[in-house]
Amino acid sequence: MRIKKVDYFRKFRAWGSIYMNQYPHEDPSIFQNNLEKVITWAETLDLPEEDETDVFCGKIWRALPEAPEDIIKAYGYVQIDIDKSYCLSRLLYCGEELRTIPCPEHKGRWGFIRDCICGDSGFLPND
């Protein structure tokens, strides 16, 4: 999937803005601050204006060991959520935008629903 650099980071931020709403027991600002730190650092890297999603992910991944310690720490906080997110994966690898219409039954709650058109998202597909 080819993606523009601006869209790659825009989609990361869009995902981050809704992600913690799914977990109201945690302080969303901690997650969002850590994610924003990593994104802001990654934006300073020498990245193409447009390329395959994997190229962006790979270049950022390979640059991380050389990143300042606070970035590595921030990445450690958000990494598992990035890795396991079907939502982020759809945004980056399938060209989707954030879904906006809640499923009538699952009402926007994320889960592992396999017998509904909303899939794991709790939202109806955009098209």
- The span of 17-25, 52-60, 61-69, 99-107 binding Zn ion (CB under 5 A) equals 99-107
Among 3, 71, 92, 103, binds Zn ion (CB under 5 A): 103
Two tokens, residue 57 = 């992910």
User: C-beta of 112: minimal distance to Zn ion in Å?
Assistant: 11
65/112 with CB nearer Zn ion: 112
21/29 with CB nearer Zn ion: 21
Instruction: Supply the DSSP symbol for 78.
Output: H
- The span of 31-39, 59-67, 79-87, 96-104 binding Zn ion (CB under 5 A) equals 96-104
Residues belonging to the chain? 127
State the CB neighbour count (10 A cutoff) for residue 93: 14
By CB atoms closer than 10 A (0-12, 13-18, 19+), residue 77 is middle
Hey, what amino acid is at 32? Answer: Q
Among 38, 56, 106, 121, binds Zn ion (CB under 5 A): 106
